[in-house]
């Protein structure tokens, strides 16, 4: 299995631009998680899907952030408009929604907003 | 009540020494406690995990000690090696209902050769 795939791996954009991060979970997994990692705040859960349905979006910082999962094999995290404080590494993880669930993380997208 | 507190923030250990990282939680409903290891430029990966019905779990040089009454758990790395240099995250989760993790803030471990 290829594991969780994220694209792009690096993104540099200017303040005010729209940014779209993409994730392909492991085939057969039915839960998907978006995390943000910064030095100051560590690893924060932004949103969590189960069977393509958003279950918990309490970590989404504000309305500028949105996430979708149109099917079991694809999810996007969009930031519009982007701000310099959004600079971070964004991880996608997937798992089987079951007891003792190991989350498998992708390699992350390093976002820099100038 | 959902927080997981992790310490220390950073740790430097000599090769062959023991590395100890501690975590504390508040919500007694948590019933799954994984540790993740993250190397620079990579995503975190599961290292070892424990359920609260046991007090210790060992896998190779890595051991989790769990104290249910104190609501604390710790990771011990025996015979620490330079290749263990990474950031370690503890987490707490539920095994029913929502399966999301609550992560600690991470410990950056450096093992000196």
| pLDDT band for position B26 (cuts 50, 70, 90) | very high
Q: Which pLDDT score is estimated for B23? A: 98
Q: Which pLDDT score is estimated for A98? A: 67
Taking one residue from A and the other from B, the number of pairs with CB-CB distance under 8 angstroms is: 51
Smallest Cβ distance to A107: which of B42, B101, B103? Answer: B42
Radius of gyration of chain B (CA): 13
Check: CB of residue B90 under 8 Å from CB of residue B21: yes
Q: Which pLDDT score is estimated for B5? A: 95
Smallest Cβ distance to B103: which of A43, A56, A101? Answer: A43
pLDDT at A85 over 80: yes
Tell me the chain A residues in contact with residue B51 when contact means C-beta distances shorter than 8 Å: 100
Percentage of chain B modeled with pLDDT above 90: 84
d(CA A92, CA A53): 16
d(CA A72, CA A32): 9
């Amino acid at each position: 299995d290829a594991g969780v795939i994220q694209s792009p791996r690096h993104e540099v954009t200017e303040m005010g631009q729209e940014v779209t991060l993409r994730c392909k979970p492991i085939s057969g997994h039915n839960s998907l998680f978006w995390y943000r990692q910064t030095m100051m705040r560590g690893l924060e859960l932004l949103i969590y899907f189960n069977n393509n349905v958003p279950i918990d979006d309490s970590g989404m910082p504000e309305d500028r952030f949105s996430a979708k999962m149109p099917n079991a094999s694809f999810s996007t995290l969009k930031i519009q408009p982007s701000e310099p404080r959004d600079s971070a590494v964004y991880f996608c993880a997937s798992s089987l929604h079951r007891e003792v669930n190991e989350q498998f993380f992708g390699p992350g997208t390093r976002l820099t907003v100038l | 009540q959902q927080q997981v507190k992790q310490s220390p923030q950073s740790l430097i250990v000599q090769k062959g020494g023991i590395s100890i990282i501690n975590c504390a939680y508040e919500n007694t409903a948590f019933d799954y406690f994984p540790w993740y290891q993250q190397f620079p430029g990579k995503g975190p990966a599961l290292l070892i995990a424990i359920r609260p019905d046991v007090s210790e779990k060992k896998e190779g040089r890595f051991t989790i000690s769990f104290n249910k009454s104190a609501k604390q758990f710790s990771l011990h790395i025996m015979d620490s090696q330079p290749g263990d240099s990474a950031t370690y995250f503890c987490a707490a989760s539920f095994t029913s209902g929502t399966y999301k993790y609550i992560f600690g803030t991470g410990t950056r471990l450096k093992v000196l050769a």
